[in-house]
Amino acid sequence: MLKSNKKNKDVRLTKKGRSGSRQLLLQVLYQHQLNGDQHHALLTQSIERAILWIGLCEFSFHKDTPSIVVINEAIELAKVFGAQDSFQFINGVLDSFLQEQIT
């Protein structure tokens, strides 16, 4: 299992461009959650919430990025950083958000 964690760490540090930026932003948001002044609120939050923030912000402020790319990147972040199978939750939430925007 130690090897697997090292492999994930290496993956986190080698991405460049927008993927790397997303990963760094995820780490910054999560670090803020962990070190924020309102520690009681942190108990109800998780890394998945930070991934959703990133995806929703990209949908709102970076309309030049294709939606499928935003969702796929969020799924990949969830697979590396999130709880087991949390990528399914991330996919469902972001897809539902897009469907609501279309209708």
CATH number of the domain bearing residue 61: 1.10.940.10
DSSP labels, the chain: -HHHHHHHHHHHHH--HHHHHHHHHHHHHHHHHHH-S-HHHHTT--HHHHHHHHHHHHHHH-TTS-HHHHHHHHHHHHHHHS-TTHHHHHHHHHHHHHHHHH-
Q: Is residue 81 part of a domain?
A: yes
Q: Is residue 40 part of a domain?
A: yes
pLDDT on residue 91: 95
Query: Max alpha carbon distance in the chain (Å)?
Result: 46
pLDDT digits (tens, 9 = 90+) for 46-70: 788 899 999 999 999 999 999 999 9
Domain with 42 in it: 14-102
Would the pTM of this model clear 0.75, i.e. be above it? Answer: no
Q: How many domains is the chain partitioned into structurally?
A: 1
d(Cα 6, Cα 12) in Å, to the nearest integer? 10
d(Cα 60, Cα 71) in Å, to the nearest integer? 13
